[in-house]
Amino acid sequence: MADTTRSDTPAPPRAAEISNLSFALIISVPVLLFLLVVVAYPLAYAFYLSFHEIRFFGGYSATWNGLANYSKVFSDQSFWSSLGRTLRFTAETVVLTLAVGLGLALILKHLPAKWRWLRALIILPWAVSPYGAGIFFTYLGRGQTGIGTAVAGWFGSDHTLNLISARFVIEYLAVGAAWNMAPLVAFFLLANMLTTPARLYDLAKIDQMSRLETFWHVTLPPLRFTLFVFSCITTVLAMKTFDYIFTATQGGPGGASAVLTYTLYKISFVNLDLGYGAAMSFFLLAVILGATGLLYLLWGRKEERQ
Amino acid sequence: MTGRNTKTFWLVLAVAVALLWTFLPMYWVVKYAFMTKTEIARFPPMLYPPEPILASFFNIFGFDYTTAEGTVFKASGQARQIILGLRNSLIVAAIVTAITTLVVVPLSYVFARLQFPFKGKLLAAILLSVSLPPVSTLIPFYTLYVQLGLTGTLFGLIVVTLTITIPIVAWMLIGFFRNLPPVELLARVDGFSRLYTLTRIIVPMARSGIMVAAVIAFLFSWNEYVYAQILVTGSNAVTLPAAMSGFLFQVPEPAQLAASLLLSLLPPFCIAFFLQKHIAEMHIA
Amino acid sequence: MARIDLRNIVKTYGSHHAVENLDMTIEDGELLVLLGPSGCGKSTTMNMIAGLTEPTSGQILFDGADVTSHSPHQRNIAMVFQSSLLYPHLSAHDNIYMSLKRSGLSKQEIEARIAHAAQTVDVTRLLDKMPSQLSGGERQRVATAKAIVREPAGFLLDEPLSALDASLRLSLRAELVNLQKRIRTTMIFVTHDQVEAMTMGDRIGVMRKGRLEQIGTPTDIYNRPATLFVAGFVGVPPMNFLKGTLEKADGRLWLINPSLRMEIKGEFANAAPQKEVILGIRPHLMRLTEAGASALPLTVYAIEQLGNEAIVICDGPDGGKIRVVAPAGFTAPVGARLDATFDSAAARLYDPASEQVLAVGKKA
């Protein structure tokens, strides 16, 4: 059959079109190799460190000590208290960021056309670096210089009102983190809101829904996937935050804001206990992955199915 | 009050609260840049600079400032670091932005638009590296850099910063590319190679997304502090954030800190201000 | 322009068979419509003809030459994609130009061809506009101009009208057929809309689950559907079906089910008695009558007035819906009892197991 159908001129090879796989490999292999070397190497090295005791006194030495670093983490009181602070800070940051983001988005959505330029102002905190946010909130909260004392002064008080107290420093930091991250959430939510058909609001009016019901049944449902994605992003960012807390409170007052990243920093860079620090950093990584995985199981799967 | 007026009233109130929330924390520190040390130390704290002066801006660049009354504000001892930091931050951010964009555009295109084996696993690896806390890779990087002699070099800082920007920007752009219409089909019928399709058709189509990606790379690089603090502080490769922290920790100088912070915020603010329309176009996967 | 042959084409994705053993010939200058529900393999077939997808096995010939391994451009096909896809960042003119960029023609020749193609589909005044500034119909015309400017061997359209509103579709359908006849190109049109298929195709290939069920002229497909699926998929209102058993008694053939015993006339020689069958009859061939022995007892469900006639939708004896065409203005209350008869010689009998036609009443 092939003989009867062969054309006079042989078909040029298909060389003009290369396969998906080879194109993907050509493009991505160099980058992935770079990432592998530059990300995987330190990770592997940290893994190596975590099984050793590293000493600097009397010359550098690394002694194999098996799982000792890992088991030490479990009995380390400061690990558990830092973990508690990290979880508290993360939970509060996520809730505040989403709530403030949603609030800002609702305000931006209702802006009349001639006020639209305000959107460009509301986004600004997003461009502030975490260390910048830390500097802002440390001066804003401190008793000597802060807004609390200034406001107390209006009411004739000459006391200092310190917002950064050992008891509520985590809450205060969560407000600052939400200030930093909420504008981006607001912008994505706003983009989502603008695609919700206006007819749905007409429908809600016909069904005589209250404002709250309208918000709950019309405004919120299309936003749920974005809210889920940002709850994951905010969780990861809050758990790995270091520079913000470093500039804002230095883990203080009195260690009250020493979250896991800060404790890690102290172990590795102040105490120079590199092996132990490396072991603990894998616990932090596990907590981050565990938290996002849990979020996905509890919430994300439900959103995906819709 | 009529219904319409009530509505306007609440909206104005809400906008006022939103603006207060947005600007109060910034204003509280930025006002120091225009105040003197004694004004800053006053109790209770002053709400605004009584006589705004620009002394701090001169001081951080190494100039003395003399007021009309003859008071002299001495140039800062950190001026050299600030000037170096400004220069280095610009260099690092520019190079990181350029490399990230060049590398990530084809990479995320491939991940967003083509089906090939192991794609899911490779994507998961990229996402995993987004969630790596810098604190845990800091020590290995530091020891590696000491051995290679890369501490205190711009090259070393650029390499580390790329490990932050590439995964995060790739992740954002993948979502963006997924939502483009399937013009590859048209391009194949028109006889264009894959490379031509990518560079001459997809890239112009995705201009706004790529622009936002570049801006995000710039912001991450410009704002990077953790690695810089450990790897380049005090060296000739110091960046602006690392240089600035001298005003925060060693000898606190709130006025000069505020002045340099304001300086460091200007580029991100300009970018955010002009690009805010495009930011939400980055569909997230 | 080319004659296109598909020889024993198979396309599998893992264990999924998208297209199975497809043999088909599209004649030079013919307009063939590939019709079927979504997921039937019609788009995969078109993509293989275009060269966008490589078949797992089998051959594709253009004018007898094997092009199975050629790229779309080498095959010189043109294609209009779903929603009349255009490069969103290029003007209409530049979109058309992209078709010829790799053609090696001189700049002048290209401009002349663009001008001619634009004139042919009447988009000359739209050439400077961006796709986002065009209406759905205009986009479709520009996409058509982009396709014909190449003077392609085959012109493939993948549901280009599905996103448009009904009246626009109607006029663009005629426009496309008219264009195809004028430039005498081989055209393949994929759609899931059977009205579109009937009104446009010189021939229609009906596909289902990766198989070609039947290929033939619209009249063929309508009057002689080869399978139960084709019978039910093509035609408005759709064909009526009655389940039953065939029995021979008194030298005559009867269709029997619990609520019906009806004599089957005509040339049903091949139909074996005692066999489960499905009888298919077009609504236009039925009429409402007085109750009678061989009449079909029906209950009115709804009536659709079409102006020139009325369609009475009824619950049939075996639970399925039966549609009967009645004179315009016919009315009856919902739930009313009606009876219908038909000339059984005009019916077709299908095997419920194989779904193939068993016998026909009349040789047409």
Give per-residue pLDDT as tens, A195-220. 888 888 888 888 888 888 888 888 88
| CA dist list (Å): B121 to A19, A217, B127, B167, C61 | 20, 37, 10, 14, 40
Flag if A12 and C74 touch (Cβ within 8 Å): yes
Residue C344, min C-alpha distance to chain A (Å):
46
Interface of C with A (CB under 8 A): 7, 59, 61, 64-67, 69-71, 73-74
Spatial distance between the Cα atoms of B30 and C349, rounded to a whole number of angstroms: 88
pLDDT tens digits along B126-159: 777 777 788 778 888 888 888 888 888 899 899 9
Question: Is the pLDDT confidence value at C345 over 50?
Answer: yes
For chain C, which domains are there? Answer: 4-233 (3.40.50.300), 240-350 (2.40.50.140)
Q: Are A243 and A130 in contact (CB under 8 A)?
A: yes
Helix/strand/coil for A298: helix
Partner-chain contact C102 B204, CB within 8 Å: no
Q: Does A16 touch chain C (CB under 8 A)?
A: yes
pLDDT of residue C269: 66
Q: Which of residues 279-298 of A touch C (CB under 8 A)?
A: none
Q: Of the candidates C64, C66, C73, which has its C-beta nearest A11's C-beta? A: C66
Axis-axis angle for helices A130-141, B3-30 (nearest 10): 90
Q: Is A15 on the interface with C (CB under 8 A)?
A: no
- Alpha helices by DSSP H, listed for chain A, are 2-5, 20-35, 41-49, 68-75, 77-109, 118-122, 124-127, 130-141, 147-154, 169-194, 198-206, 211-214, 224-240, 243-248, 260-265, 274-295, 301-305
Hunting for tokens 């002229």 — which residue is that? Answer: C217
- Residue carrying structure tokens 């007035």: C305
Interface subset of A 58-97, CB within 8 angstroms of B: none
Locate the chain A residue with the closest alpha carbon to C65: A7
For A190, name the nearest residue in chain B, comparing CA atoms only.
Answer: B280
Q: Which architecture characterizes domain B79-252 according to CATH?
A: Orthogonal Bundle (1.10)
Residues of A in contact with B264 (CB under 8 A): 129, 132
Instruction: Give the chain A residue whose CA is nearest to the CA of C73.
Output: A16
Identify the weakest region by mean pLDDT among A233-237, B104-108, C269-273.
Answer: C269-273
The pLDDT assigned to C294 comes to: 65
Question: Which residues, other chains included, contact B2 with Cβ-Cβ below 8 Å and sequence gap of 6+?
Answer: none
Min Cα–Cα distance to chain C from A95, Å: 40
Residue of A22, A108, A129 for testing the chain B interface, max B β-carbons within 10 Å: A129
A14, C73: Cβ pair inside 8 Å?
no
Confidence check: pLDDT of A8 > 60? no
Picking from A5, A6, A17, the nearest residue to C71 by CB comes out as A17
pLDDT, chain B, mean? 84
Query: Which pLDDT band holds residue A2 (cuts at 50, 70, 90)?
Result: very low
Which of B255, B25, B147, B219 is CA-nearest to residue A172?
B25
Hey, are the CB atoms on A39 and B129 less than 8 Å from each other? yes
pLDDT, tens only, C57-106: 999 999 999 999 898 988 999 999 988 899 999 999 999 999 998 888 89
Number of A to B CB contacts under 8 A, please give it.
Answer: 240
Q: Quick check: B85 and B74 in contact, CB under 8 A?
A: no
Ramachandran region, residue B149 (left: φ > 0; alpha: ψ -120 to 50; beta: rest): left
Residue B89 has pLDDT above 80, yes or no: yes
A23/chain C closest Cα distance in angstroms? 16
Interface chains of chain C (3 or more CB pairs under 8 Å): A, B
Q: Which of B128, B139, B280 faces A46 most closely, judged by CB atoms?
A: B139
CA distance A111 to chain B (A): 8
| Per-window interface: B 61-120 vs A, CB < 8 A | 103-104, 106-107, 109-111, 114-117, 119
Name the closest residue on chain A to residue B99, using Cα atoms: A31
Interface test with C, best of A8, A17, A18, A20 (most C CBs within 10 A): A17
Q: Which chain B residue's Cα is nearest to A109? A: B11
| Segment among A151-165, A225-239, B253-267, C136-150 with least mean pLDDT | A151-165
List residues in chain C touching B: CB distance below 8 A.
50-52, 71-74, 77-79, 81, 85-89, 98-99, 101-102
> In this predicted structure, what is the pLDDT of residue B281?
61
Residue A111 — very low, low, confident or very high, per pLDDT cuts 50/70/90?
confident
| Segment C138-149 mean pLDDT | 92
- The confidence score (pLDDT) of residue B235 equals 81
How far does the CA of residue C74 sit from the closest CA of chain B (Å)? 8
Measured over the CA atoms of residue C59, residue C61, residue C64 and residue C70, the dihedral's sign is negative
Cβ distance B141 to B233 under 8 Å?
Answer: no
CB contact under 8 A, A268 and B139: yes
- H-helix or E-strand spanning residue C148: helix C136-148
pLDDT at residue C203, as a whole number: 95
Q: Which residue has the tokens 């101009």?
A: C145
Q: Do A5 and C66 touch (CB under 8 A)?
A: yes
- Confidence check: pLDDT of A15 > 50: no
Share of chain C above pLDDT 70, in %: 96
With beta carbons under 8 A apart, name residues in chain C contacting A17.
Answer: 71
Cβ within 8 Å of residue C20, ≥6 positions away: C10, C41, C210, C211
Name chain C contacts of B204, Cβ cutoff 8 Å. 89
Contact partners of A by the rule of 3+ C-beta pairs under 8 A? B, C
Residue ranges of domains in chain A, CATH in brackets: 1-41 (no CATH), 71-305 (1.10.3720.10)
Q: What is the pLDDT of residue C97?
A: 94
Nearest C-alpha of chain B: how many angstroms from C42?
17
Picking from B126, B276, B279, B281 by the largest number of A CB atoms within 10 A of its own CB, the best residue to mutate is B276
CB contact under 8 A, A281 and B11: no
In B, minimum Cα distance to A49 occurs at: B140
Interface of A with B in 186-225 (CB under 8 A): 187-188, 190-191
Q: Which residue of C has its CA nearest to B191?
A: C73
Higher pLDDT, C200 or A271: C200
Domain boundaries, chain B: 2-73, 79-252
For residue C218, pLDDT over 90 is answered with yes
**B100, closest residue in chain A (CA to CA):** A31
Q: Do B110 and A24 touch (CB under 8 A)?
A: yes
Structure-token pair, residue C315: 């619950």
Q: Does A14 touch chain C (CB under 8 A)?
A: yes
Is B175 in the A-facing interface, judged by CB distances under 8 Å? no
Residue A145 pLDDT exceeds 70: yes
Which residues lie below 8 Å from residue C361, measured CB to CB, with a gap of 6+? C264, C265, C266, C267, C268, C343, C344, C345, C346, C347, C348
DSSP chain B: --HHHHHHHHHHHHHHHHHHHHHHHHHHHHGGGGS-HHHHH-SSPPSS-SS---HHHHHHTT--EE-TT--EEPPPTTHHHHHHHHHHHHHHHHHHHHHHHHHHHHHHHHHHH---TTHHHHHHHHHHHHS--HHHHHHHHHHHHHHHT-TT-HHHHHHHHHHHHHHHHHHHHHHHHHTS--HHHHHHHTT--HHHIIIIIIHHHTHHHHHHHHHHHHHHHHH--HHHHHHTTTSTT--HHHHHHHHHTTS--HHHHHHHHHHHHHHHHHHHHHHHHHHTTS---
The owner of tokens 């084409």 is C9
Q: How confident is the model at residue B60 (pLDDT cuts 50, 70, 90)?
A: confident
Which chain B residue's Cα is nearest to A31?
A: B103
Indicate yes or no: CB of A14 within 8 angstroms of CB of C59.
no
Which residues, listed in sequence order, are joined to residue C187 by a DSSP beta bridge?
C31, C155
Nearest residue on chain C to A9, judged by CA atoms?
C65
pLDDT for the residue numbered B283 = 52
Q: Quickly tell me which residue has 């893992």 as its tokens.
A: C14
Please check the confidence at residue C274 and state whether its pLDDT lies above 70: no
Average pLDDT score, chain A: 83
Query: Which of C51, C74, C85 is nearest residue B186 as measured by Cβ atoms?
Result: C85
Q: What separation in angstroms does the CA of A131 have from each of A69, A97, A128, A134, A246?
A: 31, 18, 8, 5, 8
- Compute the distance between CA of residue B195 and CA of residue B191 in angstroms, rounded to an integer: 12
Q: Report residue C9 as tokens.
A: 């084409």
E strand segments, C228-285:
240-249, 252-257, 260-264, 276-281
Question: Whole-model pTM?
Answer: 0.82
